[in-house]
Amino acid sequence: MKSITIHNLDEPLDALLRKRARQQGTSLNKTIKILLADALGIGSGKRQDFLDLCGIWSPEEVVEFEKTQGDFEEIHPEDWA
């Protein structure tokens, strides 16, 4: 496999690439390879595309959701009758 180096990457682009990698749970290298393949029309169209459409909850959003769902985990005695 070949390797390439990209010099003088702008800060906003670097930040977006790193954010995408975190969201997808992939390495920065793999994220860039996926983006390049998709841009050139040879992407696999696998899980990464699906995640782009649906998004991912942040840890803070998960905590907030779980707080609102607490009542659904309780079983009340009158529900058994």
Tens digits of residue pLDDT in 39-78: 888 876 555 556 666 777 888 989 999 889 887 878 878 8
pTM: 0.52
The angle formed by the CA atoms of residues 26, 18 and 64, to the nearest 5 degrees, is: 80
For the segment 7-26, the average pLDDT, to the nearest whole number, is: 94
Q: What per-residue confidence (pLDDT) applies to 77?
A: 82
Tokens of 68: 């609102």
Q: Is 60 helix (H, G, I), strand (E, B) or coil?
A: helix
